Chains A and B, each alone.
Chain A
Amino acid sequence: MQLVLEKRAERSRTIALVSPLIAIGLTLITMSILFAVLGKNPIMALGVYFIAPLTDGYSLQEIAVKATPLVMIAIGLSLCYLANAWNIGAEGQFLMGAVAGSWIAVNTQGTDAGHWVLPAMLVAGAVAGALYALIPALCRVKFGASEILTSLMLVYVADLVLDYLVRGPWRDPAGFNFPTTAEFDPVATVPVLIEGGRLHLGSIIALVVVAGAFVLLDRTIKGFEIRVVGVAPRAARFGGFNANQLVLLTFAVSGALAGLAGIIEVAGPIGHLQPGISPGYGFTAIIVAFLGRLNPVGILIAGLFLALTFIGGEQAQITMKIPLDVTKVFQGILLFYVLACDSLILYRFKLVFTSRQVQSGAG
């Protein structure tokens, strides 16, 4: 008797929906073992991670706040990945968007600039993110450089640019030498949705982005081009679609969304520019994109789920003294299982009972 993987004639739609759930289940089992090894009660730990944050209003808002950048970035990344363009540097585009938008905030600080400031900041953030993403895209199209490496390396460049600015020219003179800009003016701040709450306008923008991506991919010829180029490049060329153009387009769009997420994060929940504005949103969004099956609605759900792990991780650190890094381990294991479970979409497991009729003969 042996277990074999058998190819399916068509992709299974059911498994495509169920496979992320299987992956989550396997991740939870693995995590339980990990908690047990760390000497924590697995049931309690999982409760703190995944149940507790859902039980109070503050945490629910916080989940939405954390999910906002994840979803926006992951939507952009999903377009790249569908088109077979591997943007790994969303983190850098996020930071560059934050920097460019902050430039306007810093320079209008204390002036009587009107309500144009915030829209201008959002536009600047999106444009900067797009331009920053176009660097690796152009390098791939013009020189054949691997966009995986170049986009990743540019993350560190962006990180250092931000670091230089908040330690140097943009440092708040009244900030006790902390590496941060001054708090942004009210006209340079993303408004909150509920008075005294944390939920802000950015979450609405993220929902609009999800809806836009859904229409783009499902209803428009451009979305079709993106999908064909990814799954069948030669057929796409036969269809008259230009793969290089789509690499540039998807990188620009995903850079713009990451940049927009960056400036919203800075002008919203944080309120000023400082190092460490992102706990790795740009990288976690890669997991969100795949966990969400590169599908806009899936990404929305996956974004909320991973936001939950951030909040749960913080609570677990406080109440159970579980290291915050366990959250990263969790996310890594999850991505691993998601990719592994994808095999089930095209293949199915089958138990084969080999008959012993065929006898091995002497050669």
Chain B
Amino acid sequence: MTPMPDPAPADPNTTHPLLQTIGLTKRYGDFLANDKIDLEVVPREIHALLGENGAGKSTLVKTIYGLVQPSAGELRWQGAPIRLSGPAEARSLGIGMVFQHFSLFDNLTVAENVALGLDGKEPLKAITARLADVARDYGLPLDPKREVWQLSVGERQRIEIVRALMQNPKFLILDEPTAVLTPQEADQLFVVLERLKAEGRAILYISHKLDEVKRLCDTATILRGGKKVATCNPKRETAASLARMMVGTEIKEVMPPAERRTTVPRLVVNDLTLAPAELHGVRLQNISFELKGGEILGIAGVAGNGQDELFAALSGERLVKEPGTIILDGLACGNRSITERRKMGAAFVPEERLGHGTAPRMRLSENALLTGHAASAMVRHGFIDAAATLRTVDLTTETFDVRKAKRDPEAASLSGGNLQKFVVGREILRKPAVLVVNQPTWGVDAGAAAIIRQALIDLASAGAAVLVTSQDLDELVEISDRIAVMFHGHLSEPLPRAEATRERLGLLMGGANLDRKEAPHAAGA
């Protein structure tokens, strides 16, 4: 093993690393999630951990936080080798972590949630007071008495951060913290992180957003396929050079066609209001928009603002009483089932590939049948044409470059990117009139993401209406003709791409002009 030469660390007078991994390896069966990773983090440093999905970032930080036991290699804390039995031990050393997916109880208050996460036996009253202090000190406003379900995603993240800070960590791990924030909220977070750094703490910052890393981080360690590729100073790199290290090859730029003709409205939503199906779900409020053939409409917004509910209503997984609220190619279908809507030419791609878009433990041919039974020749008189389902698999594989170990494997055995190409490809090959897709490239490698975005653009160019919901603003700006923002179940007026700056979208994502948009709906349709 030949360790990479490290460029000079950020600050010459902090030569003793706070945390070090030496040849850290984690093996799951035949799969090497982490392969001999060397990492050094010094105090007063924001250290980026860069990599695509599946590069091994999560495994590495889970090992550092004691959630995963390494198969080989060494972990050193302030120079001494350690072996962590669990997160509690990591916390007692001074290692804190803020997860991407929050572990909060919706029906408990902020203070109660924080108390549950602390190891000690401090009374709730003392915790509440301390929580308020920490929150005020760091400019992270939080009301300890509010119940979590009432809070926005940004506020929920604040709870996690404050909870970590209350243990006064020397080393803080943040897993893709800006994934759920508006650009403005992200800026506020960066201020807090700079402050933590100034206090002498070290931060390990996981991300795949290159501009963010360039702006914020002193050092970057780049992982690819479980291996460390390089350690560098991101400020001296370009976004392109960082991306090259992350992906290993040049990424193909998506090519939007010069001009797209828009035709007749193919998906029209009129004043859609729908009560949530679940406790603490989001109520859809007077949503109206019109989507023409040849057009891509992007829907931005922080997760949990009603995107899932809108998808369920548009797809027909949840029915609306008033048929006219959703019109597909001129036909009112609010009360029609998802199968009927597919027969009318609609296609849907949900956010969650495994378990929603596909049955994980079923073969790809069966998963082709899952959505294809309605509107293609896979079923005759109730009998399945197995050859036809296999043909769909082969065609999708060929057209969308789906990599798999055999002709017809189980869905769960594919990597995220390849399964997503299959799930999107399966629908696009049916040449839908309307495609509704939620988070098309979530958790997908850059190569697959480019193929999927290109496919969406090509579909629109062929005359289909495409509705893309995404939390990735860059993606929406890249492919959409117009962009609307969802906030608290409301949908803003769509902005043409030229006017949809990050600032304007960010403000809308934070609910800025909510009050201004109530009036126009009365006149609608």
Band of interface residues on A = 20 to 34
Task: Enumerate chain B residues within 8 angstroms of A234, measured Cβ to Cβ.
Answer: 352, 355-356
Q: Say yes or no for B20: interface residue by CB 8 A criterion.
A: no
B410 at interface by CB-CB < 8 Å: yes
B362 touches A232 (CB 8 A): yes
A11, B93: Cβ atoms under 8 Å?
A: no
CA distance A228 to B356 in the complex (A): 11
B179 CB to closest chain A CB (Å) equals 23
Q: What does the 1/0 interface line of A343-363 toward B look like (CB < 8 Å)?
A: 000000000000101111111
Complex CA gap A172/B51 in Å reads 82
- Asked if B70 and A222 make an inter-chain contact with CB atoms under 8 angstroms apart, the answer reads no
Complex CA distance for A225 and B412, rounded to whole angstroms = 19
Report if A239 contacts B (CB, 8 A): yes
Q: How far is the CA of A355 from the CA of B73 in the complex (A)?
A: 10
- Say yes or no: A221-B373 contact (C-beta < 8 A), given A358-B72, A363-B93: yes
- Asked if residues B81 and A11 are in contact (CB atoms below 8 Å), the reply is no
| 8 Å CB interface, B255-299 against A | none
Tell me if B429 is interfacial: C-beta within 8 Å of chain A.
no
Cβ 8 A contact of A219, one of B70, B93, B384: B384
B80 cross-chain contacts in A, Cβ below 8 A: 361-362
**B74 at the A interface (CB under 8 A):** yes
Known contacts A222-B382, A359-B81; decide if A238 and B70 are in contact (CB<8 Å): no
Q: Are B370 and A10 in contact (CB under 8 A)?
A: no
Q: Is the pair A240, B338 in contact by a Cβ cutoff of 8 Å?
A: yes
Question: Which residue among A227, A232, A236, A357 has the maximum number of chain B CB atoms within 10 Å of its CB?
Answer: A232
The answer for the CA separation of A222 and B381 in the assembled complex, in Å, is: 11
Q: Contact between A232 and B382 (Cβ–Cβ < 8 Å)? A: no
Interface of B, helix, strand, loop or mixed by DSSP: mixed
Q: What number of A-B contacts does a CB cutoff of 8 Å give?
A: 95
- Chain A residue contacts of B339, Cβ below 8 A: 240
B216 within 8 A of A: no
- Cβ–Cβ contact B359 & A231, under 8 A: yes
* A193 interface residue per 8 A CB criterion: no
Residues on B with C-beta less than 8 A from A357 are 72
A275 → chain B closest CB, angstroms: 42
A211 to chain B, nearest CB (A): 15
Q: A232, B384: Cβ atoms under 8 Å?
A: no
From residue B346, how far is it (CB to closest CB) to chain A in Å? 12
CB of B103 within 8 A of chain A?
no
Is A237 in contact with chain B by the CB < 8 A criterion? yes
Residues of chain A lying within 8 A (CB to CB) of residue B355: 232, 234-235
Closest-CB distance, B413 to chain A (whole angstroms): 5
Bound CA–CA A232/B369 (angstroms):
14
The answer to whether A231 touches B93 (Cβ under 8 A) is: no
B350 within 8 A of A: yes
B337 interface residue, CB < 8 Å from A? yes
CA–CA, A123 and B379, complex, Å:
31
Residue of A nearest to B341 (CB): A240
The answer on a CB contact under 8 Å between A221 and B370 is no
B contact residues around A10 at 8 Å (CB): 409-410, 412-413
Tell me, rounded to whole Å, the shortest Cβ–Cβ distance linking B422 to chain A: 14
- CB atoms of A224 and B89 under 8 A apart: no
**Closest CB in chain B relative to A350 CB, distance in Å:** 8
Within 8 A of B (CB), among A203-228: 219-222, 224, 227-228
- A328 proximal to B (CB < 8 A): no
Interchain CB contact under 8 A, A238 and B366: no
Per-residue CB contact flags for chain A residues 294-327 toward chain B (1 = under 8 Å, else 0) read: 0000000000000000000000000000000000
Q: B371 touching A221 by the CB < 8 A rule?
A: no
> Does residue B342 face the partner (Cβ distance < 8 Å to A)?
yes
CA distance A222 to B373 in the complex (A): 11
Partner of B359, one of A9, A219, A222, A232: A232
CA distance A10 to B363 in the complex (A): 10
User: How far apart are A362's CB and chain B's nearest CB, in angstroms?
Assistant: 7
Chain A residues, CB < 8 A from B29: 6-9
Cα–Cα distance between A236 and B369 once the two chains are bound (Å): 11
Chain A neighbourhood of B74, CB < 8 A: 358
Distance (whole angstroms) from the CB of A133 to the closest CB of chain B: 23
Q: Is the CB of A238 within 8 A of B370?
A: yes
- B349-391, CB < 8 A from A: 350, 352, 355-362, 366, 369-371, 373-374, 379, 382-384
Is B371 a contact of A239 with CB atoms below 8 Å? yes
Chain A residues whose CB sits within 8 angstroms of the CB of B348 once the complex forms? 238
Which among A11, A221, A227, A238 has the greatest number of chain B C-beta atoms within 10 A? A238
Chain B residues, CB < 8 A from A235: 355-359, 370
Question: How far, in whole Å, are A358 and B76 apart by their CA atoms in the complex?
Answer: 11
Q: State the CA gap A235–B28 with chains docked (Å).
A: 27
Contact indicator A238/B362 (Cβ below 8 Å): no
Within 8 A of A (CB), among B385-436: 409-410, 412-413
A174 to B350, CA, bound (A): 70
Contact present for A240 and B81 (CB under 8 Å)? no
A361: B residues at CB distance < 8 A: 80-83
Q: How far is the CB of A184 from chain B (nearest CB, A)?
A: 38
Q: Which residues on B sit within 8 Å (CB–CB) of A238?
A: 315, 317, 338, 348, 350, 356-357, 370-371
Q: Counting CB contacts under 8 A, is B188 at the interface?
A: no
Q: Does B92 contact A (CB under 8 A)?
A: yes
Taking a contact as CB atoms under 8 Å apart, the answer to whether B361 and A11 are in contact is yes
Query: Could you tell me the distance in whole angstroms from the C-beta of A83 to the nearest C-beta in chain B?
Result: 13
Contacting residues of chain A (4-18) with chain B, CB-CB under 8 angstroms: 6-11
The residue from B350, B384, B410 contacting A221, defined by CB atoms under 8 A apart: B384
Shortest distance in angstroms between B363's beta carbon and chain A's nearest beta carbon? 10
Q: Roughly how many angstroms separate A360 CA and B350 CA in the complex, as a whole number?
A: 46
Per the 8 Å Cβ criterion, residues 197-238 of B in contact with A are none
Q: Please name the residue on chain A nearest to B339 by beta carbon.
A: A240
Closest A residue, CB atoms, query B406: A10
A231 in contact with B83 (CB, 8 Å): no
Contacts of A239 on B, CB cut-off 8 Å?
338, 370-371, 373
Known A10-B413, A227-B362; further 4 A-B contacts with Cβ < 8 A: A9-B29, A224-B384, A231-B361, A361-B83
Sample 18 A-B pairs with CB under 8 A, ordered by A number.
Answer: A7-B28, A7-B29, A219-B383, A224-B373, A228-B362, A234-B352, A234-B356, A235-B355, A235-B356, A235-B358, A238-B350, A239-B338, A239-B370, A240-B339, A355-B72, A358-B70, A360-B83, A362-B80
Per CB-CB distance, the 10 closest pairs between chain A and chain B, nearest first, are A240-B339, A232-B359, A361-B81, A239-B370, A235-B359, A240-B338, A360-B83, A361-B82, A9-B413, A221-B379
